[in-house]
Chain A
Amino acid sequence: MKNVFEIIGALSSFAFRVIVNAFKAPWEFNEVWRQVGEMGVRSLPLVAASGLALGVVMTLHTRSTLVTFGAAAMIPRLQSLSFFVEIGPLVAALLVAGRVGAGIGAVIANMRATEQIDAIEALSIDSFKLLVVPRVIACVLVLPLLTTFMDFCGLLGGFLSEYAESHLSLALYMTRAFTGIVWSNFIPPTLKTAVFGFLIGTVASYFGYTINEGAEGVGRAATNSVVLSSLLVILADVILVKLIFLLFPESAI
Chain B
Amino acid sequence: MSESQEIAITLDRVSKSFGDKDVLCEVSLSIRRGEAVCILGRSGMGKSVMLKLMIALMKPDGGRIRIGNDELTQLKGEELSRVRRSMGFLFQSAALFDSYTLHDNLALPLRRLTSKSKQEIEEIIDRVLSQVGLQADKQKMPVELSGGMRKRAGLARALVLEPDVLLVDEPSSGLDRITASEIDDLLLEQKTQRHTTMVVVTHDIHGAKRVGDRLLVLDRGRIAGLGCAEELETSDNEIVRKLVAEQ
Query: Which residues does A use to contact B, with CB under 8 Å?
Result: 26, 107, 111, 114-116, 118-125
Contact check: which of A26, A115, A118, A121 meets B112 at CB < 8 Å? Answer: A26
Shortest Cβ gap from B207 to chain A (Å): 21
Are A115 and B93 in contact, CB atoms less than 8 angstroms apart? yes
Shortest Cβ gap from A86 to chain B (Å): 35
Q: A26-B112, A115-B95 are in contact. Are A122 and B85 (CB under 8 A)?
A: no
Shortest Cβ gap from B68 to chain A (Å): 15
A interface SS class: helix
Q: Which of A26, A118, A120, A122 has the most CB of B within 10 A?
A: A122
Are A118 and B81 in contact, CB atoms less than 8 angstroms apart? no
Q: A115-B95, A116-B95, A119-B95 are in contact. Are A124 and B113 (CB under 8 A)?
A: yes
Contact check: which of B82, B87, B113 meets A122 at CB < 8 Å? Answer: B87
Q: A123-B84, A123-B108, A124-B84 are in contact. Are A118 and B52 (CB under 8 A)?
A: yes
Q: Which of A26, A114, A119 has the most CB of B within 10 A?
A: A119
Shortest Cβ gap from A241 to chain B (Å): 37
Contact check: which of B52, B82, B93, B161 meets A114 at CB < 8 Å? Answer: B93
Shortest Cβ gap from A100 to chain B (Å): 15
| Cβ-closest chain B residue relative to A110 | B98
Give the complex CA separation of A60 and B112 in angstroms: 55
Apart from A115-B93, A119-B97, A125-B112: 14 A-B pairs, beta carbons within 8 A? A107-B99, A114-B98, A115-B95, A116-B96, A116-B97, A118-B57, A119-B157, A122-B87, A122-B88, A123-B108, A123-B109, A123-B112, A124-B109, A125-B113
Give the complex CA separation of A111 and B87 in angstroms: 21
